[in-house]
Structure 1
């Protein structure tokens, strides 16, 4: 089959705009030409874009991103051997020199007998600009969460949620106790006890938790008597499992956050306990996102912390900023902290701003429901 419609894509670390472009214009091309560099080749940037497409036909040329002459020569060489009736050019990616070189090449010296369209996607915009007519073209395609993450060169593992209805009920109850009824001290005390059973290193101890005297006195009885959790509901949790221990050592806040926000975020675009691994690195470290969602093709990552985190807050913010940097320029990071006993210092608030992290603390949550807080944030960013 003859290929007559080509999409020219300038590769860079920002993969999502290119993937979106190809999705939005999928009926206008039947082959892709990636214009990349040695760095994009080494980092498998093209593969990240291809991962959300249905096995398209593509070519790739490697250019010197700092030399317009080299870029022109490589394009001339390619089009001397390949001919297309229609060529779409997306100059959103690449370096500035690559974008300028591509624009002037296709504007002033287009391949013979080819109809050229050149587009640009402004950062944080929901439309493309046709650089010939200056017309704005609405962006229609919306990524789901797994595909957005794939388009950034990562892979997401999202496990199904066990006992979702029960966890929703308990998480909402614990949040109400912690924030609105100021019963946080007992919850923090239970959390501190259970942390001794958390993690793979403590699996042998966790398997014998019911044999420990403190299970009755420090965990079960306080949850029933002081936290008013129904004994029959509590019996449905197996404290020998890592999942249960994680839930009662702060995971309930992650689940509460997920449960509240899924009321305003489309299904498939939000998840909790998302495990992330970079596809291009063989020994990539697996990171975990407490809650993540996509809204209008922007990724939001929420880190949830309970109790006194003042001493580790700087490290938490640094890690959050590092993780966010893996997902492109428009990704947003939120840090939700239930910290009733210790206020966040002005210096820590300044550091959060420096890292471009949105802090949501205990006092903020007492003043406004979490769902309302995010409705305001998302409406403001629209």
Structure 2
């Protein structure tokens, strides 16, 4: 395999070469100008001359238009096949004679992030089964428990991790009793009564983190990991760029060689302000051209923020819609196609 690489893509190309070599492929890269079509054509002709008598195939999907057209011209003149990747149908299509081939689902999350220059430095481990069960129930009941879940999140904000108890009594809004009963049954919290008022005590900082909002990440992760065709679903990921910038991803996975990122928020709407800008930056830097982002929030976004997210083609799931997340995830990823999901 020969990669034609412009100056600004040299670092990424070195990473790609390492990945492809680990997959058992013989790879070399050659520098070319992304603005000089004649130089690109001559570089391609040199590659073809070195392999005279062999069948050489050009992938014309990447690169600049000048690079693609110059390479295409050289291959067309030599009578060699050219193909491109149709990302809408996940198919490899030849520009003239040749079959239509399905793209294999092979790129996992670690490989995808690495190809974009990111190294994972932290990944949250799976939670106990009982916590996942609690998260499923909370997600399914968001429509009835929305106000209680938001109030519980706010109540936990003032809890010191070393004391692990709420400094203020818990107000029993609609659904709060049911939520706390569920959490107590699964060993996640204990309700204590003092002077006729109810306070919460947490067994440990992990349980506190779960109730403060971790439950929503667990709910999304639990749904994703049970979807057919998904590769390497992860939650609580921290990844470091080549420039030393850390990005935090609540839930991330790959499906059909695309990266899907889900941001979760279980608190009041102050967390929603400016969220489309954040998600757009993460999608651009971490997900690349084919990355996709979803925002899942117990509280609802403002109309302006929601419209902005829609305009920027971001999937938003909020409030009572979270109960329908299993179907929404299937539609968002396209997992129902080709008999999957």
TM-score (norm 2): 0.80
* 1: CA distance, partners of 2:277 / 2:178: 39
Aligned to 1:189: 151
Q: Does the alignment pair 1:48 with 2:11? A: no
Q: Does the alignment pair 1:332 with 2:298? A: no
Q: Does the alignment pair 1:376 with 2:331? A: yes
* 2: CA distance, partners of 1:213 / 1:381: 44
1:259 to 1:379, Cα distance in 2 relative to 1, 3 A: same
Q: Does the alignment pair 1:320 with 2:279? A: yes
- Structure 2 SS opposite 1:121: strand
* 2: CA distance, partners of 1:91 / 1:106: 10
TM-score (norm 1): 0.73
1:121 offset after TM fit, Å? 1.0
Aligned to 1:72: 41
* 2: CA distance, partners of 1:226 / 1:171: 11
Q: How does 1:1-382 map to 2 (within 5 A)?
A: 32-41=1-10, 43-48=11-16, 50-54=18-22, 56-77=25-46, 85-109=54-78, 116-133=80-97, 135-156=99-120, 159=123, 161-177=125-141, 179-182=142-145, 184-197=146-159, 205-206=160-161, 208-210=162-164, 214=167, 217-218=169-170, 227-228=180-181, 229-230=183-184, 233-234=187-188, 240-241=204-205, 243-266=206-229, 268-278=231-241, 281-283=242-244, 285-309=245-269, 311-326=270-285, 327-339=287-299, 343-365=300-322, 369-379=324-334, 382=337
1:84 offset after TM fit, Å? 6.7
> Are the counterparts in 2 of residues 317 and 352 from structure 1 also a CA contact under 8 Å?
yes
- Structure 1 SS opposite 2:86: coil
* 1: CA distance, partners of 2:268 / 2:247: 23
- Structure 1 SS opposite 2:316: strand
Runs (5+) with no aligned partner, structure 1: 1-31, 111-115, 198-204
What's the RMSD between the two structures over aligned residues? Answer: 3.2
* 2: CA distance, partners of 1:59 / 1:86: 17
> Are the counterparts in 2 of residues 273 and 288 from structure 1 also a CA contact under 8 Å?
yes
1:232 to 1:320, Cα distance in 2 relative to 1, 3 A: closer
Runs (5+) with no aligned partner, structure 2: 191-200
